[in-house]
Amino acid sequence: MTADVPEELTEYPLSLLLTPPPALRAPGDFDAFWQDTFAEFGTGAVSWEVTEALEPTPTHRVDRILFGSSTGEQVVAWLALPHGPVSRGRVVGHGYGGRTEPALDMLPADTAAIFPVAPGQEANAPGRFPALSARHVLAGIQNRETYSHRYSAADLWRAATVLLDAAPDAAVALDYQGGSFGGGMGALALPWDERFRRASLDVPSFGHFPIRLSRRCTGSGEAVRSYLRRHPEVRPVLDYFDAAIAASRVRIPVHVGAAVVDPSVDPRGQFAVYHALTGPKRLTVRGSGHLEGPIEELSNRLFRQGTEDFFAAARIDQD
């Protein structure tokens, strides 16, 4: 790194990124903690209601809904149901900052999808957790039971339950797709929910905290770094929410997009999530992540197309 290049824009050699980092040691009760969390929030019925019918697309009916969050509040999601037969389902996470509309481009005509908004994030009414990412990432961090990320991951299971209630045929092939915050939350949620068949994690956050905390960044990780300097006693809590540790428990096929340069999410942590996966996996190396401009937009679109190809390959396998 030269003196005139900000630390958060460090470009790591691809050879370094493709070398697995030292394996992390999970807390002794890591699996039990997440299995208990799934038993508490991921099983049973989930209440939901349509609040607004949106303009349909040529392939899907689209509704804005509210569903019962793991926090006990009502959270927003969008439900897209095909006009024709349903062959697959998809839960779609989002980046830090929430979402205000569903991302329907590239959604196959036979795929039912739900686009949930994590507790506290934009589009939801003010509630238990704050919306601002620098505050959301610290909310409840003093204890693993109260940490915001526990509830954000749990709501992905609950969103899947809503989707399968609305489109039962989607149960035969349920996929997960998420980037950045949604990539990290997906890694945390996937090992414990056997309903998911495939997943796509783009520039996943929260991977390998010893790496994540070692470098300045422009994202939520910087808020955590700053907080830990004042409150080092909460550091053990983060090990229960490390996306790389969770990824080592994922057995389904996963497509990962990892960037060589990323000011918000350390590239070494993104690649660590990929390396930790123990099932079938595919890696797309991105030139950059979390940067503005036409090159980034093209990179995003190419990764999305790669994800559709990855999910479509499962259709061929099933046929």
Pick from 215, 245, 213, 246: nearest CA to 232: 213
Give the model confidence (pLDDT) of 107-140 as tens digits.
999 999 999 999 999 999 888 999 999 999 999 9
DSSP string covering 200-253, please? EEES--S--HHHHTTS--SSHHHHHHHHHHH-GGGHHHHGGG-HHHHHTT--S-
Pick from 67, 155, 82: nearest CA to 113: 82
Residue 167 within any structural domain of the chain: yes
Number of domains observed in the structure of the chain: 1
Residue 6 within any structural domain of the chain: no
Task: State yes or no: pLDDT of 37 exceeds 80.
Answer: yes
CA–CA gap between residue 24 and residue 275 (Å, rounded): 12
Residue 8 within any structural domain of the chain: no
pLDDT at 8: 79
Task: State yes or no: pLDDT of 94 exceeds 90.
Answer: yes
C-beta separation of 217 from 266 below 8 A: yes
Residue-averaged pLDDT of the chain: 94
pTM for this model (two decimals): 0.95
Residue 11 within any structural domain of the chain: no
Give the model confidence (pLDDT) of 132-149 as tens digits.
999 999 999 999 999 999
Residue 234 sits in a domain whose CATH number is 3.40.50.1820
Burial of 52 (0-12, 13-18, 19+ CB in 10 A): exposed
CA 166 and chain centroid, separation: 22
Give the CA angle between residues 215, 219, 225 to the nearest 5°: 45
Burial of 19 (0-12, 13-18, 19+ CB in 10 A): exposed
Residue 116 within any structural domain of the chain: yes
pLDDT at 315: 59
Residue 42 within any structural domain of the chain: yes
pLDDT at 157: 98
Residue 2 within any structural domain of the chain: no
Residue 309 makes CB contacts below 8 A (sequence gap 6+) with: none
pLDDT at 5: 56
Residue 287 within any structural domain of the chain: yes
Pick from 189, 314, 309: nearest CA to 246: 189
CA–CA gap between residue 156 and residue 150 (Å, rounded): 10
**Percent of the chain beyond pLDDT 70?**
97
Q: Write out the residue range of the structural domain in which residue 200 sits.
A: 26-318
Per-residue pLDDT band for 298 (boundaries 50, 70, 90) equals confident
